[in-house]
């Protein structure tokens, strides 16, 4: 197939950011979990940077209550900028302005938290009749990975929708949407034949987990309007994509998967969040020289629980 067979370009990214963030209470009582810092940048900024790196500079945030700080973060902060300019602190001035100049950021409110599928449906008026990307903020993808760009390419070649798949340990499949897959002629591309949201380990169709990056055909909106609440009583994007996986191209199908073996950081729970912060700090030129020796020493002084010191 050639690009011209599926001409409509992916130009918009949708970032659901309406979750209650209960795993991080009380930090998330008045602050959205997307604004929790990974070192010194809120998690959601890495996500917007990834979208922009893949050529998507129209970003729609689907927000809920107490999300004002997200809007403020991607807006200008004139007083702060003025104060930094007066001190000739150009480096910090740049870091403050950077987030407001990254992308065209738009917002829509998800009135009630009815699940990821419902959050995506809230984007329908803004997205219109075009394929679009969905990026979940709990997953951060390494800056040197070209995952999203590859997914857009796969959409251009095959049409339909595309999910990112990563192989996980069997006891982790119940945390993810899980896919049954069949190979294509391309090593890193598969056809998705089944999708189950958070299956029990003995019911999982494979160990290939859907990580938080999607390219959706606009047909997903009509399917989501008809999708009943599924796992957890929520409208699941996974359930809508299963419908599309069973359709012909003329009806918005099929669904392909890009097999991803690169670097992904989970920030969705406390332990993985802590790992992510430490990993990012160790990769930072301005911090690693001081932080890494301290970390080594700290670990030496704190043998793991159960270890004989
Ligand atoms: C969501 C999706 C799930 C997907 C996961 C990736 O779940 O429903 O299919 O595998 O994101 O992070 P959540 O983690 O929001 O519960």
| Structure tokens belonging to residue 286 | 């301005």
39: left (phi over 0), alpha (psi -120 to 50) or beta: left
Q: Which residues contact 8 (CB under 8 A, 6 or more apart)?
A: 129, 130, 131
Q: What is the pLDDT of residue 58?
A: 97
Atom of ligand 1 nearest to the CA of 232: 16
Q: How far is CA 181 from the centre of its chain?
A: 22
Nearest to 155 by CA among 50, 37, 257, 78: 257
Cβ of 176 less than 6 Å from ligand 1? yes
| 157-181 mean pLDDT | 96
- CATH H-level superfamily of 12-268: Spore Coat Polysaccharide Biosynthesis Protein SpsA; Chain A (3.90.550.10)
Closest C-alpha residue for ligand 1 atom 15: 116
| 288-302 mean pLDDT | 94
- Count other C-beta atoms under 10 Å from residue 41's C-beta: 15
What is d(CA 234, CA 216) in angstroms, rounded to the nearest whole number? Answer: 19
What pTM value is reported for the model?
0.94
Q: What angle do CA 172, 38, 296 make, to 5 degrees?
A: 80
The pick from 197, 204, 212 for probing ligand 1's pocket by mutation, whose C-beta has the most ligand atoms within 8 angstroms, reads: 212
Cβ of 177 less than 6 Å from ligand 1? yes
The answer to whether the CB of 280 falls within 8 A of the CB of 294 is no
Closest C-alpha residue for ligand 1 atom 5: 176
Q: What angle do CA 248, 235, 133 make, to 5 degrees?
A: 60
Matching residue, tokens 């070649």: 157
Q: What is the pLDDT of residue 306?
A: 62
> How is residue 24 annotated by DSSP?
G
> How is residue 231 annotated by DSSP?
G
How far does the centroid of ligand 1 lie from the alpha carbon of residue 1, in Å? Answer: 31
Backbone angles phi, psi at 253, to 5 degrees: -90, -175
Q: What is the pLDDT of residue 92?
A: 94
Closest C-alpha residue for ligand 1 atom 10: 176
How far does the centroid of ligand 1 lie from the alpha carbon of residue 174, in Å? Answer: 10
How far does the centroid of ligand 1 lie from the alpha carbon of residue 177, in Å? Answer: 6
Please write down the HEC assignment for all residues of 1-32. Answer: CCHHHCCCCCCEEEEEECCCCHHHCCCCCCCC
List residues bridging with 164 in a β-sheet.
211, 258
Q: What is the pLDDT of residue 7?
A: 56
How far does the centroid of ligand 1 lie from the alpha carbon of residue 210, in Å? Answer: 7
How far does the centroid of ligand 1 lie from the alpha carbon of residue 303, in Å? Answer: 33
What is d(CA 72, CA 70) in angstroms, rounded to the nearest whole number? Answer: 5
Q: Is the peptide bond before 254 cis (omega within 30 degrees of 0)?
A: yes
The answer to whether the CB of 26 falls within 8 A of the CB of 71 is no
User: Which segment of 149-163, 198-212, 217-231, 294-308 scores lowest on mean pLDDT?
Assistant: 294-308
pLDDT-derived band at 67 (thresholds 50, 70, 90) equals confident
Where do the H-state alpha helices sit in 175-284? 219-226, 237-245, 270-283
The answer to whether the CB of 241 falls within 8 A of the CB of 111 is no
How far does the centroid of ligand 1 lie from the alpha carbon of residue 143, in Å? Answer: 21
| Structure tokens belonging to residue 109 | 């409110």
Q: Which residues contact 153 (CB under 8 A, 6 or more apart)?
A: none
What is d(CA 227, CA 239) in angstroms, rounded to the nearest whole number? Answer: 7
Cβ of 239 less than 6 Å from ligand 1? no
What is d(CA 116, CA 118) in angstroms, rounded to the nearest whole number? Answer: 5
Q: Which residues contact 271 (CB under 8 A, 6 or more apart)?
A: none
What is d(CA 138, CA 253) in angstroms, rounded to the nearest whole number? Answer: 27
pLDDT-derived band at 2 (thresholds 50, 70, 90) equals very low
SS3 155: helix
Q: What is the pLDDT of residue 88?
A: 96
Cβ of 267 less than 6 Å from ligand 1? no
Q: Where along the chain do the CATH 3.90.550.10 domains lie?
A: 12-268
The pick from 210, 232, 267, 273 for probing ligand 1's pocket by mutation, whose C-beta has the most ligand atoms within 8 angstroms, reads: 210
In order of 38, 76, 97, 177, the CA distances from 80 in angstroms are 21, 9, 10, 42
- Give the chain's mean pLDDT: 93
Residues 4-43 pLDDT 10s: 456 589 999 999 998 888 899 999 998 999 999 999 999 9
């Amino acid at each position: 197939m050639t690009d011209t067979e599926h001409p409509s370009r992916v130009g918009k990214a949708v970032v659901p950011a309406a979750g209650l963030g209960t795993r991080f209470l009380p930090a998330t009582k008045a602050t959205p979990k997307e604004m929790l810092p990974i070192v010194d940048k809120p998690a959601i900024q890495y996500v917007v940077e990834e979208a922009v790196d893949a050529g998507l500079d129209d970003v729609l945030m689907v927000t809920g209550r107490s999300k004002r700080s997200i809007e403020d973060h991607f807006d200008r902060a004139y007083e702060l900028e003025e104060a930094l300019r007066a001190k000739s602190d150009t480096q910090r001035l740049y870091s403050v302005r950077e987030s407001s100049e990254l992308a065209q950021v738009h917002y829509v409110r998800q009135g009630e938290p009815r699940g990821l599928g419902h959050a995506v449906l809230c984007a329908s008026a803004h997205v219109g009749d075009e394929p679009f990307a969905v990026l979940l903020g709990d997953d951060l993808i390494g800056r040197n990975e070209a995952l999203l760009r590859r997914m857009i390419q796969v959409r251009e070649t095959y049409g339909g929708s595309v999910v990112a798949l990563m192989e996980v340990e069997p006891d982790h499949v119940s945390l993810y949407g899980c896919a049954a897959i069949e190979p294509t002629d391309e090593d890193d591309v598969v056809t998705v034949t089944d999708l189950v949201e958070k299956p029990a380990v003995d019911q999982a169709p494979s160990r290939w987990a859907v990580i938080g990056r999607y390219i959706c055909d606009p047909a997903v909106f009509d399917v989501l309007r008809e999708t009943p609440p599924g796992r957890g009583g929520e409208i699941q994007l996974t359930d809508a994509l299963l419908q599309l996986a069973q359709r012909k191209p003329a009806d918005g199908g099929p669904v392909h998967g890009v097999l991803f073996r690169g670097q992904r950081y989970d920030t969705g729970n406390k332990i993985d969040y802590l790992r992510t912060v430490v990993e990012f700090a160790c990769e930072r030129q301005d911090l690693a020289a001081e932080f890494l020796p301290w970390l080594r020493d700290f670990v030496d002084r704190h043998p793991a629980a159960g270890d004989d010191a």
